[in-house]
Amino acid sequence: IEPAVWHLNEGHSAFLLLERARETVAAGTESSAADALILAGRNSVFTIHTPVSAGNERFDTTLVRQLAAPLTDGTDVDLEHVLELGRGTDGDPGQFDMTAFSLRLTNGSNAVSALHAETANASWRHILERPILDVTNGVHTPSWVGQPTRELYEGLGADLDDLDADRADARFWDHLDRIPDDRLWEAHLRQKLELAFFARGRLRTQFARHGEAPEALQAVSDALDPAILTIGFARRFATYKRAALLFSDEERLARLIWGTDQPVQFVFAGKAHPADRPGQRVIQEIFSKSRSPRFRGRIFMLEDYDIRIGRYLVQGVDVWLNNPRRPLEASGTSGMKAAMNGVVNFSVLDGWWDEGWTGDNGYAIGGRTVDSNEGAQDWADAQALYGTLEQEIVPRFYDRDRTSGLPTSWLELMRRSITSTIWRFSTTRMLQEYVDLLYLPAAAVAPDPREPVSVGATGDDPGR
């Protein structure tokens, strides 16, 4: 295999460039060691991810010298030049920044949402030779759409394995009004019931493991009633995602979930990084609250989060909750998966939702301004969260047509959720943008593997 373009995904892959430079020199081409690094970057592209500093790897240059020396010994690659290329935005000569190294060398780079591109360009502006582009993440539609919903789409002629927005006859998402309300609601309820059965099994197992009383085990049989408005929250429990924001006002939350005529239930799932002690404490806190008398039976935490739990949740809840601290969510993808199933997003305007929210396809928590006081911002977002639930989401979900008994207004919201996301936030669209914006430009200046390589007498790269 002779790749035309190499794609580096996050900074931890940065030494791919150094290894390719070493191989170029070792192959005995006409390139100097300095030219070899330029050539390695010429047909390489780079995706930057999290704005969180802990996610952009930096290492002491002493350690980098020890580990990189075997890649440079005998090749005339100047290790000090390599270290200079890895100097971060703070200019610290004692630190090697993997993201900075990748940004300086590669042909092009991208962030994973439009807002993230704004943040990344501002953060890295001192070292950038060209702007970081935005290629918003997408998800593989057929992997995440539930079978009942998929059958509805296929009834409109959909081929989820080959989404095509260029042909009018293939844009099935523009014709969701052809699906009768009762069939759309029936498909959604089937997926809610599948979630309930699955979650009850998981809850029964984990309650038994924790030594819960027999009556608690028996109560699991009634958990997650599909008739109740169900809100899901599942993701990595990094502290900036503020999983515990819902509990900012416990009395108000209790009134919300135990509403006599319009109750609400929440399902949490997720994991924290093994080294993220604060994130692990958030999980412990939510689990403890879910078993307290005030919240037991309306708030659930599913342990051992994995892709299977994630799939049931994005297919089977009514609302998908996401409340990160703006603008620290680079993209997020769970809400995309949920929307393609007709689940309604309820999120801070961060990551993908900042561009995905149209005003009528879901709900926003707060606005786009950020208070420099994190405590004040948390309180404001919590008030917006409660207020939108109480005044808009809960009443709309429980509003029923007097004749059909169906939540017709909610079903219209579900349709808008699907229509606005199923193509725009698919991997099909995403990959096409990678090809057009990054791969083809890099391939156009890629050296022919069958020919000797050169960047010119001066060592300047004519393709950059």
- pTM value is 0.92
Whole-number pLDDT of residue 219: 84
Say what the pLDDT of residue 308 is: 97
Q: Read off the amino acid at residue 137.
A: N
Give the pair of three-digit tokens for residue 368: 């786009």
8 Å CB contact between 226 and 312? no
What confidence score (pLDDT) does residue 361 get? 98
Residue 450: predicted pLDDT: 52
Alpha-carbon separation of residue 56 from 10, 44, 49, 91, 239 (angstroms): 8, 19, 8, 15, 16
Predicted confidence pLDDT, tens digits, the chain (464 residues): 889 999 999 999 999 998 888 888 877 765 677 788 888 999 999 999 877 766 678 999 999 999 888 777 766 778 888 999 999 999 999 999 999 999 999 999 999 999 999 999 999 999 999 999 999 999 999 999 999 999 999 999 999 999 988 888 889 999 999 999 999 999 999 999 999 999 999 999 998 998 888 888 888 988 999 999 999 999 989 999 999 999 999 999 999 999 889 999 999 999 999 999 999 999 999 999 999 999 999 999 999 999 999 999 999 999 999 999 999 999 999 999 999 999 999 999 999 999 999 999 999 999 999 999 999 999 999 999 999 999 999 999 999 999 999 999 999 999 999 999 999 999 999 999 999 999 999 999 886 655 555 544 333 443 33
User: Parallel, antiparallel, or unpaired for β 95-97 and 58-60?
Assistant: antiparallel
Which residue in the block uniquely carries the two structure tokens 């009850």? Answer: 200
CB atoms within 10 A of CB 172: 24
pLDDT of residue 49: 86
Which of these, 423, 265, 410, lies nearest to 342 by C-alpha position?
Answer: 410
Ordered domains of the chain (ranges, CATH): 6-137+428-444 (3.40.50.2000), 141-425 (3.40.50.2000)
Q: Which two tokens stand for residue 20?
A: 């390719």
**How confident is the model at residue 249, as a pLDDT?**
98
